[in-house]
Structure 1
Amino acid sequence: MPLKSLLQLLLLAALWGGSFLFMRIAAPVIGPAVMIELRLFLAALFLLLIARLLRRHLQAGQHWKHFCMLGWFNTALPFLLLGFAAQTLSASLLSILNATAPIWGNLLISLRYRKPLTIKTLCGLSAGITGVGLILGFDPVLVQEGSTVAIIAVLAAALCYGIASCYAQGADHVEPFTNAHGSMWAATFLLLPLLPFFPAQASGDPQVIGAVLLLGIFCTGCAYLLYFRLIADVGASSAITVVFLVPAFGVLWGHLFLDEQIGWHTIVGASIVLCGVALVTNFNPLALLRKRRPTDV
């Protein structure tokens, strides 16, 4: 992987890792639904501006069903679940549990296409479950009221990402940027009817306002653009390795800015989870660093 792409990958991981920090700051104050609706709307506006600059047409009339499906399972519902959980769980825990998404995705794809699970995949699933169990078993968050529901919400969000990836396997091909732009607008409108069911309050706190703006524009809008740039430059299989770096930044930002403690169980459990993800996704770090030879196709 070229140095430029590697730096972009680190920046993307830092942005997506920062999203858990900003959700943790804003969700307890203004409520998860309003926070996520603002996040989606800001990101959609940002992508609309980029689309105008690039002269990209959305073709919503042709792909609206696809955008709604992708927008609900890949954006609106998982974002809402994560926002709900952010009222209780730490940014570190949110980022680690969310990293189980590739495990869910590969499991669902195997079930949908009736592909038998390999020994490596089964070992990866077992490692993921073991890592999550280790983290939760020693984390003091379990004594907090509502923590069990919050943990289930994060794992359900990861499952949603798995459903979205499974759906995308058999969906009609749509250009990646158009996918991001269209699904972001679809998610924005799909979430609107749910707002009355979640208590919310206004806040003039500059920290909360800043967190929402950074969450929408940078951690969502800019991050999507960066992700698709990586896909174009190094391919989807290399770009998706960002999932291994996001928890590291989630834990780091939580420790630096929210004074979240990093216990041995966090480090060991997260490592086991990521090993499980690597097994399930056939991730090979050496392949990324291998220098491409002229004879390579």
Structure 2
Amino acid sequence: MNTANLLRLVTLAAIWGGSFLFMRISAPVLGPAVLIEFRVLLAAIFLMLVGLVLRKRAAPLNLREHWKHYLILGFFNSALPFLLFAYGAQFLSASVESVLNATAPMWGALVGLVWKRQPIKASTFAGLVLGTVGVAVLVGFDSITAQPGAGLAVVAALVAAFCYSVASTYARSAKSVPAFANAHGSMWASALLVLPVLPFFPQHGPATLPVVGSVVAIGILCSGIAYLIYFRLIDEIGPTSALTVTFLNPVFGILWGALFLGEVVGWYTVVGTAIVLCGTALVTGFVPRFGRAPAVAAK
């Protein structure tokens, strides 16, 4: 991985880690449905404008053929998990949610077992156990999880991570659709899917400047721009290496929460996060490689 791609990877992790900060600021005011409707709608409009600028380089949506695919992908990859994380952000810290988000690859192993009949290896099983222990340490010792409503919020965040694993498995088995069209089409589908939920989660209060700024940031920066960086990484270094962003997201989620919201970083935060990430590494088979890079033959 060259320096440019390493910087892209760290930037992407910083942006996606920031999404939990922005949700923590805006969800208690706007409610989960209003926040996420704005999030996916802003992302869809942004990606539409990018598509117009790119023209030939951006694949067309081809709605007649792929509309069902966009609805399924939009539901599991954006609409439902975004709503669940936004609901959780009303009760949980940005730190806790960012770590719970990192359990997605662990859920993926279970989804693969049921959906694809993929056997679970010993290392994968060990990773699942470690991940469960890490979540228990994080949730069990963090005082915020003892507040009213926090228990259901933890469940919501874990289900959201599960949704990401379902979306990932579905995307690999579905008809091939270009990455940009997937991102663009699924955002418009998500905007439609969230609309019926709006009456059930009304806005709690007036939108202040920090709330409006958070909504714009989470829609354009954390969804639209982040997708462009992610798909560029997939093209440059491949999906497996791009997946390492999973290990960096919680670091930034905890950092931003501590810096901007004054969230406490206790020993349980550090230990729980480390255990969850070790479990994720075992499940994904990620092994960091150190040492001198192989020489490149001169052309």
What TM-score do you get using the length of structure 1 for normalisation? 0.96
**Residue of structure 1 in register with 2:212 after alignment:** 209
> What amino acid is aligned across from residue 32 of structure 2 in structure 1?
P
Query: In structure 2, what is the equivalent of residue 199 of structure 1?
Result: 202
Instruction: Give CA deviations for 1:29-67 in whole Å, capped at 9, x if unaligned.
Output: 111100010000000000000111111311111111110
Aligned-pair CA distance for 1:167: 1.0
Q: 1:73 maps to what in 2? A: 76
1:155 aligns with 2:158: yes
Runs of 4 or more, structure 1, over 2 Å off, are 201-204, 289-295
Q: Secondary structure at the match of 1:106?
A: helix
Alpha-carbon distance between aligned partners in 2 of 1:26 and 1:257, rounded to the nearest angstrom: 14
Distance 1:128 1:164 in 2: 20
- 77, 99, 107: which one aligns with 2:102: 99
Do structure 1's residue 129 and structure 2's residue 132 form an aligned pair?
A: yes
User: Which letter maps to 2:26?
Assistant: A
Change (3 A) 1:262 1:119: same
SS across alignment from 1:117: coil
Native 8 Å contact 2:138 2:269 kept in 1: yes
* Correspondence for 1:110: 113
**Structure 2 match to 1:50:** 50
2:8 — aligned with what? 8
C-alpha distance after superposition, 1:123-154 (max 9, x if no partner): 00000000000111111023210011000000
Tell me, in whole angstroms, the C-alpha distance in 2 between the residues paired with 1:265 and 1:217.
Answer: 33
Q: Specify the alignment match of 1:258 in structure 2.
A: 261
Give CA deviations for 1:228-262 in whole Å, capped at 9, x if unaligned: 00001111111111010000000000000000000
Aligned to 1:273: 276
One-letter amino acid of the structure 1 residue matched with residue 236 of structure 2: D
Q: Deviations for 1:184-219, whole angstroms, at most 9, x for unmatched residues?
A: 110111110111111214524101000100110101
1:238 and 2:241 correspond: yes
Q: How far apart, CA to CA, are the structure 2 residues paired with 1:90 and 1:277?
A: 21
Aligned to 2:293: 291
Secondary structure of the structure 1 residue equivalent to 2:289? helix
Deviations 1:75-129 (A, max 9, x none): 0000000000000000000100111001101221122221211000000000000
The residue that corresponds to 1:188 in the other structure is 191
SS in structure 2 at match of 1:245: helix
Q: Relative to structure 1, is the Cα distance of residues 207 and 168 closer, same or farther in structure 2, using a 3 angstrom cutoff? A: same
* 2:92 and 2:145 in contact (8 A); partners too: no
Counterpart CA distance in 1 for 2:230 and 2:294 is 22
1:2 is displaced (CA, Å) by 0.4
CA distance, structure 2, for counterparts of residue 292 and residue 242 of structure 1: 23
Q: Which residue pairs with 2:30 in the alignment?
A: 30
What is the alpha-carbon distance in structure 2 between the residues aligned to residue 184 and residue 34 of structure 1?
15
2:153 maps to a residue whose letter is: A
* Residue 221 (structure 1) shift: 0.5
d(CA) in 2 for partners of 1:204, 1:14: 25
- For normalisation by structure 2, the TM-score amounts to 0.96
Instruction: Please give the alpha-carbon distance, in whole angstroms, between the structure 1 residues aligned to 2:197 and 2:223.
Output: 21
User: Counterpart in 1 of 2:91?
Assistant: 88
What is the aligned-residue RMSD (CA, Å)? 1.3
> How far is the alpha carbon of 1:291 from its aligned partner?
2.7
Question: Is 1:138 aligned with 2:123?
Answer: no
The number of aligned residues is 294
Structure 2 contact 70–182 (Cα < 8 Å) conserved: yes
Amino acid corresponding to residue 148 of structure 1 in structure 2: G
Partners of 1:42 and 1:76 in 2: how far apart? 13
CA distance in 2, matches of 1:105, 1:47: 28
User: 1:20 corresponds to which residue?
Assistant: 20
Structure 2, unmatched stretches of 5+, are none
How far off is 1:169 after superposition?
A: 2.2
Query: What amino acid is the match of 2:89?
Result: A
